[in-house]
Amino acid sequence: MFLLLPFDSLIVNLLGISLTVLFTLLLVFIIVPAIFGVSFGIRKLYMKTLLKIFAWATLRMERGAKEKNHQLYKPYTNGIIAKDPTSLEEEIKEIRRSGSSKALDNTPEFELSDIFYFCRKGMETIMDDEVTKRFSAEELESWNLLSRTNYNFQYISLRLTVLWGLGVLVRYCFLLPLRIALAFTGISLLVVGTTMVGYLPNGRFKEFLSKHVHLMCYRICVRALTAIITYHDRENRPRNGGICVANHTSPIDVIILASDGYYAMVGQVHGGLMGVIQRAMVKACPHVWFERSEVKDRHLVAKRLTEHVQDKSKLPILIFPEGTCINNTSVMMFKKGSFEIGATVYPVAIKYDPQFGDAFWNSSKYGMVTYLLRMMTSWAIVCSVWYLPPMTRETDEDAVQFANRVKSAIARQGGLVDLLWFFWGFEQCGPVI
């Protein structure tokens, strides 16, 4: 028989007590509030504390840059990096000043390395247009202690470096394990809860349980990202028999909206973990899943969606008509499919605050696992959601005009740039038609 030594027994007891305390704290401060949809204000206090730290770090960075004669770049209000217009000669001098210890008076008018500068400027002129800018992350005016490979975020002082190092420890050693545990809890409860609800006979009781199981699990997942969401004009929330359309920045847009409303999701059938979640969810709620072979059949998709919205007892459909993720600065042209059905459209504008973490998913640069890791190691996800009044297609309006009118309303409310462009080379990252 295996016997524990007194020291080993003490470690086991301490570990058991620590896990019990941790589970109790999760239950009291996160899971139970998620069930009832309440908040103790801890996340808002956390956000205010971070803002004060960021403000101090930014002031220290600006002061250090002035002392070292480094140029500071400021972003425009739409998040795109802004550089003061300078001549090519001045820019080359700035590059030589930062990369060489020689006096500028002793440097020749032309160096062989200048060729690379001219090549880069030519490529920037070709590539950096109004559309491609929307597929790169926003630039921040303040330092959020997350990036050290940006225009301004370079070594300034020992104190800032130590502060950044402490931030890494907090985010990776405390926040990341906590968030993974919460995400696992939320997803597990969603699969188990919807599966159990699926065995109940159809009726009001089943619908009531399904709604609250979905809301509870999505709220737990929201807390797994330390998401601080402000919902505006809730009286305009989507209703049964309608279509909810929103601008698209991130895959977590679904969680952000579903933690405040009960929606029927639209998407392609997947395998693996996502497939398990989809099969469980559809047992409790009439979501609309398509097989891979059906997705490209626009008439079949439109038919199934039309049948869904014609039944006024069914949940509103959640759709992201842009078809791709845009970097939180703009709204691109909407696909017209969801505007041809003839249902009432409920526009929703989503705007993230990038100070605490960049929610934009650049699918050409990051895979889903890498993206989720970046989200869970951010300080927080802060965003505002506006529910706009319902809109219907007018008699003299075609589907494209209706889509553009809805898009303009979303852009105007969210403070986003309304782009009249359609991007073809994208990867879908949300329900779209």
pLDDT value for 311: 84
**Strands of the sheet with 243-246, listed across from one edge:** 227-232, 381-387, 345-353, 243-246, 317-319, 264-268, 288-290
Cα–Cα distance between 293 and 298 in angstroms, integer?
A: 11
What number is the average pLDDT over the span 157-162? 77
Cα-flanking dihedrals φ and ψ of residue 390, to 5°?
Answer: -60, 150
Is residue 270 over pLDDT 60?
yes
Tokens in use for 239?
């209703």
**Total Cβ atoms within 10 A of residue 391:** 16
Distance between terminal CA atoms of the chain?
64
Tokens in use for 217?
């699990």
> With bands split at pLDDT 50, 70 and 90, how would you rate the model's confidence at 406?
very high
Tokens in use for 338?
């969801």
Cα–Cα distance between 294 and 268 in angstroms, integer?
A: 9
CA trace torsion 183, 432, 423, 333 (10° rounding) = -110
Nearest to 144 by CA among 153, 157, 136: 153
Dump pLDDT digits (tens) for 339-382.
888 889 999 999 998 888 888 888 777 888 888 888 888 888 99
Nearest to 82 by CA among 145, 152, 131: 152
Answer for the pair 280, 273: CB distance below 8 angstroms, yes or no.
no
Answer for the pair 229, 394: CB distance below 8 angstroms, yes or no.
no
Is residue 387 over pLDDT 90?
yes
Lowest mean pLDDT among 3-17, 26-40, 115-129, 400-414: 115-129
Dump pLDDT digits (tens) for 217-254.
999 999 888 888 999 999 999 998 899 999 998 889 99
Pairing of strands 381-387, 317-319: unpaired
Entry pTM: 0.76
Tokens in use for 406?
């809805």
Dump pLDDT digits (tens) for 64-100.
666 666 555 454 444 443 444 455 566 666 655 555 5
Is 406 buried (19+), middle (13-18) or exposed (0-12) by CB count in 10 A?
buried
pLDDT value for 121: 66
pLDDT value for 8: 61
Chain position carrying tokens 């997803």: 187
Amino acid at 382: V
Nearest to 153 by CA among 167, 139, 166, 173: 139
Cα-based distances in Å from 58 to 55, 157, 230: 5, 12, 26
Highest mean pLDDT among 77-86, 137-146, 149-158, 175-184: 175-184
* Residues above pLDDT 90, as percent of the chain: 18
Cα–Cα distance between 242 and 309 in angstroms, integer?
A: 6
387 compared with 156, residue with greater pLDDT: 387
329 compared with 15, residue with greater pLDDT: 329
